[in-house]
């Protein structure tokens, strides 16, 4: 049987990026995707931030199935009694390739896979890689059912909870506290309705992040993304919090949909897609080993995700890790050396890029985001202060500073507030 230069397991952003770079350089590449079609088993909130995809495929948005450009970010604090939103819009964000793109993975991943095939790689769908083939401590291929496929390098890009990473003995012990569950619905609405409700023009798009009551004050939050003719609505919640409180993520999503501020935005919509996904939030502290003889780990399988409560990004890190893996294989091919020493270049590339630097910057974020006051006390406090500021009940008004000070004093000690602020400063 022919031997490939590289076998890529998974056709998500990391896998497709690595396959595209290698195939474009003339390497013999085989990609396995267990979904019936590329994108069938992939899920995310819907926004891709950063220039990585454009650096790889210049002006990709001119032909790719991009839904909208992200020119507006909304951060909303929800309580049972009301909400307070911070709406940020930058004119330059609406001009590509600035900031971000809203995508639907089922469409985008298929488009990306076609680019991979056009570059010369083989993309095989509906096939699950069951195991690695290891000979003398070196990975030399993979097993798919009863079939064996051989290569100089295997690039694992199969996502969170990677079975192959575990079988290679690379995974560190992670717990439900290190994982979040994302649940999403795609709700169909006419384009004109979306643009009227969200005050959008042309290809402008909005990303909304919500904290507080949508998750019943558990660590996590809700999100809403505007597509061309649909909305992506969902929640992300710490897995351990769900199990400890005996709460189902699907119930939280239903409750989120019934919140008055959300209900009016999705009114008249039809749910056309439902999906769930596990998200690694352990960062550098529990990151698995990234390379070995004939093996590289990328994307979610490597835990490459940044979550600060204000941002949740993974696809850009996945793309960058896929490119770094591909460049490493190209170098190894040129040297005719696929040893662990040579493949260590992969981690060097990640450390030189924004990937490891950003993960190091926010290394304490996951621990800080376990603070329950972030999800209950502070959203309720923000909503209550706003309500008092805007209330006119015929009584003499208080100065805003004293009103804020008085309300905070009723809810939390000043020393606890300062401590939380200092921890936030260090973490996010």
Residue 184 pLDDT level (bands cut at 50, 70, 90): very high
* Least trusted range by pLDDT, from 79-83, 94-98, 126-130, 313-317: 94-98
Q: What is the pLDDT of residues 290-305, one digit of tens each?
A: 999 999 999 999 999 8
pLDDT of residue 175: 83
What size, in residues, is the chain? Answer: 428
Q: Within 10 Å of residue 314's Cβ, how many Cβ atoms?
A: 25
Is the separation of the CB atoms in 326 and 23 below 8 Å? no
pTM: 0.92
| CA separation, residue 184 to residues 49, 101, 211, 327 (Å) | 19, 18, 16, 34
Is the separation of the CB atoms in 204 and 72 below 8 Å? yes
Q: Which structural domains are found in the chain, ordered by start?
A: 3-65+104-172+282-352 (3.50.50.60), 177-280 (3.30.9.90), 368-427 (no CATH)
Residue 220 has pLDDT above 90, yes or no: yes
Residue 237 has pLDDT above 80, yes or no: yes
C-alpha 41 chain-centroid distance? 15
Q: What is the pLDDT of residues 38-54, one digit of tens each?
A: 988 777 778 888 888 99
Residue 383 has pLDDT above 80, yes or no: yes
* Least trusted range by pLDDT, from 39-43, 245-249, 265-269: 39-43
Q: Within 10 Å of residue 24's Cβ, how many Cβ atoms?
A: 18
Residue 1 has pLDDT above 70, yes or no: no
Residue 9 has pLDDT above 70, yes or no: yes
Tell the burial category of 402 from Cβ atoms under 10 Å away from its Cβ (0-12, 13-18, 19+): exposed
Residue 176 has pLDDT above 80, yes or no: yes
Residue 355 pLDDT level (bands cut at 50, 70, 90): very high
Strand positions, DSSP E, 58-178: 66-78, 83-89, 100-103, 122-125, 131-135, 138-144, 147-156
pLDDT of residue 32: 97
Q: Which residues contact 36 (CB under 8 A, 6 or more apart)?
A: 125, 126
pLDDT of residue 71: 87
Taking the C-alpha atoms of residue 326 and residue 149, their distance in angstroms, rounded to an integer, is 19
Residue 25: both structure tokens together: 């350089």
The secondary structure of residue 113, as a DSSP letter, is H
Taking the C-alpha atoms of residue 166 and residue 171, their distance in angstroms, rounded to an integer, is 5
Q: What is the pLDDT of residues 91-113, one digit of tens each?
A: 777 677 667 899 998 899 999 99
pLDDT of residue 322: 97
pLDDT of residue 323: 97
Taking the C-alpha atoms of residue 12 and residue 318, their distance in angstroms, rounded to an integer, is 9
pLDDT of residue 252: 95
C-alpha 257 chain-centroid distance? 21
Is the separation of the CB atoms in 19 and 156 below 8 Å? no
Select from 362, 162, 217 the least CA-distant residue to 281. Answer: 362
Residue 243: both structure tokens together: 């199990």
Q: Which residues contact 397 (CB under 8 A, 6 or more apart)?
A: none
Residue 18 has pLDDT above 80, yes or no: yes
What mean pLDDT is predicted for residues 62-69? 93
């Amino acid at each position: 049987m022919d031997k490939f230069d590289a076998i890529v397991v998974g056709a998500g952003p990391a896998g497709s990026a690595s396959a595209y770079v290698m195939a474009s350089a003339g390497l013999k590449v085989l990609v396995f995707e267990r979904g019936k079609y590329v994108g069938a088993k992939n899920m995310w909130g819907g926004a891709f931030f950063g220039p990585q995809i454009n650096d790889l495929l210049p002006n990709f948005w001119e032909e790719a199935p991009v839904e909208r450009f992200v020119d507006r970010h909304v951060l909303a604090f929800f309580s049972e009694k009301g909400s307070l939103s911070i709406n940020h819009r930058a004119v330059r964000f609406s001009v590509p390739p600035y900031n971000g793109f809203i995508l639907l993975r089922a469409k985008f991943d298929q488009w990306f896979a076609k680019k991979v095939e056009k570059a010369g790689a083989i993309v095989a769908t509906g096939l699950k890689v069951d195991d690695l083939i290891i000979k003398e401590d070196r990975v030399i291929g993979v097993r798919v059912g009863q079939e064996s496929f051989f290569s100089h390098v295997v690039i694992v890009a199969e996502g969170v909870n990677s079975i192959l990473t575990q079988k290679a003995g690379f995974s560190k012990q992670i717990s439900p506290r290190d994982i979040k569950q994302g649940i999403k619905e795609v709700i169909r609405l006419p384009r004109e309705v979306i643009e009227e409700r969200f005050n959008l023009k042309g290809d402008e798009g909005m990303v909304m992040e919500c904290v507080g009551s949508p998750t019943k004050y558990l660590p996590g939050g809700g999100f809403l993304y505007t597509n061309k003719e649909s909305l992506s609505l969902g929640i992300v919640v710490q897995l351990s919090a769900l199990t400890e409180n005996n709460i189902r993520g699907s119930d939280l999503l239903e409750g989120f949909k019934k919140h008055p501020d959300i209900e009016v935005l999705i009114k008249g919509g039809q749910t056309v897609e439902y999906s769930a996904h596990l998200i690694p939030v352990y960062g550098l502290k529990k990151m698995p080993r990234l390379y070995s003889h004939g093996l590289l780990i990328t994307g979610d399988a490597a835990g490459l995700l940044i979550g600060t409560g204000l941002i949740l990004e993974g696809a850009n890190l996945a793309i960058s890790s896929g490119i770094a893996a591909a460049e490493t294989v190209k170098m190894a091919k040129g040297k005719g050396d696929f040893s662990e020493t040579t493949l260590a270049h992969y981690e060097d590339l990640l450390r030189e890029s924004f990937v490891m630097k950003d993960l190091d910057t926010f290394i304490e974020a996951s621990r800080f985001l376990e603070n329950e006051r972030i999800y209950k006390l502070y959203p309720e406090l923000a909503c209550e202060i706003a309500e008092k500021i805007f209330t006119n009940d015929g009584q003499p008004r208080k100065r805003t500073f004293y009103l804020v000070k008085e309300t905070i004093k009723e809810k939390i000690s000043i020393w606890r507030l300062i401590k939380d602020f200092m921890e936030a400063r260090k973490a996010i």
